[in-house]
């Protein structure tokens, strides 16, 4: 994967006012994921869904954050050292590490299939390797998109940062 060396990226709000997924007044914020919300709907996604759900069940590493527009985003604190297989439709799991772009730290981000589609439609990124400045207070680089699961996993952001480390 070739990372873009440009640091002229904009914040999500600058690139796409109204950056969305779920608006706060249309749902109830929760930090709980149930087995029913991560159903395997196709054989090719069964292993990814089961593996990630098993990790969620063992340790509550999933959290939500609201963006400046009030939309709720779903995050999963994932470190590469976890013995979990993540099936990517785009990108390379070996790129899931902190990158230095223009002398600044950029944290890796893997997106669920539908979240990647939404962020592309809103102009937040185009290709794997695109950097985004000030994404919930951190500079990130898109390193992968997960296979479609037809479950809540399609809306998740996998990031090596905890809830306290993101704004």
Q: Is there a domain that residue 2 lies in?
A: no
**Number of domains forming the structure of the chain:** 1
**138-146/156-159 β-pairing:** unpaired
Determine the structural domain holding residue 76 and report its residue range: 12-165
Higher pLDDT among residues 139 and 23, named by residue: 139
- Give the integer Cα–Cα distance in Å for 122 and 92: 23
Question: Is residue 110 included in any domain, yes or no?
Answer: yes
Q: Where are the beta strands (DSSP E) in 37-115?
A: 62-66, 71-77, 88-91, 99-101, 104-111
Round the average pLDDT of the chain to a whole number and report it: 77
Residue 3 lies in a domain: no
pLDDT value, residue 149 = 93
Residue 109's φ and ψ, nearest 5 degrees, are -135, 130
pLDDT tens across 135-159, in order? 999 999 999 999 999 999 999 999 9
pLDDT tens digit string along 52-76? 656 555 567 889 999 888 889 999 9
- CB 95, CB 73: distance < 8 Å: no
Quick check: is 7 in a domain?
no
Say what the pTM is. 0.70
Return the structure tokens found at 56: 């969620």
Residue 158 falls inside a structural domain? yes
Joined together, the tokens standing for residue 8 give: 């002229």
Residue 49 in any domain: the answer is yes
- Confidence band (pLDDT; 50, 70, 90) for 81? confident
Residue 128 confidence class, pLDDT cut points 50, 70, 90: very high
Report helix, strand or coil for 121. helix
In a domain, 1, yes or no: no
pLDDT in tens, 104-124: 999 999 999 999 999 999 999
**Backbone φ and ψ of 77, nearest 5°:** -75, 110
């Amino acid at each position: 994967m070739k990372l873009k060396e440009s640091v002229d990226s904009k914040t999500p709000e600058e690139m796409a006012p109204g950056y969305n997924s779920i608006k706060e007044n249309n749902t109830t914020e929760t930090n709980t994921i149930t087995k029913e919300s991560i159903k395997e709907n196709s054989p090719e996604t069964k292993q990814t869904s089961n593996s990630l759900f098993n990790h969620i069940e063992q340790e509550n590493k999933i959290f939500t954050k609201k963006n400046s527009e009030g939309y709720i985003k779903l995050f999963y604190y994932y470190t590469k050292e976890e013995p979990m297989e993540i099936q990517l439709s785009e990108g390379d799991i070996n790129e899931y590490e902190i990158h230095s772009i223009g002398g600044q730290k950029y944290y890796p981000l893997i997106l669920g299939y539908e979240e990647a589609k939404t962020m592309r439609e809103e102009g937040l990124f185009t290709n794997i390797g695109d950097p985004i400045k000030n994404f919930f207070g951190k500079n990130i680089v898109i390193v992968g998109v997960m296979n479609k699961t037809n479950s809540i996993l399609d809306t998740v952001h996998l990031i090596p940062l905890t809830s306290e480390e993101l704004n």
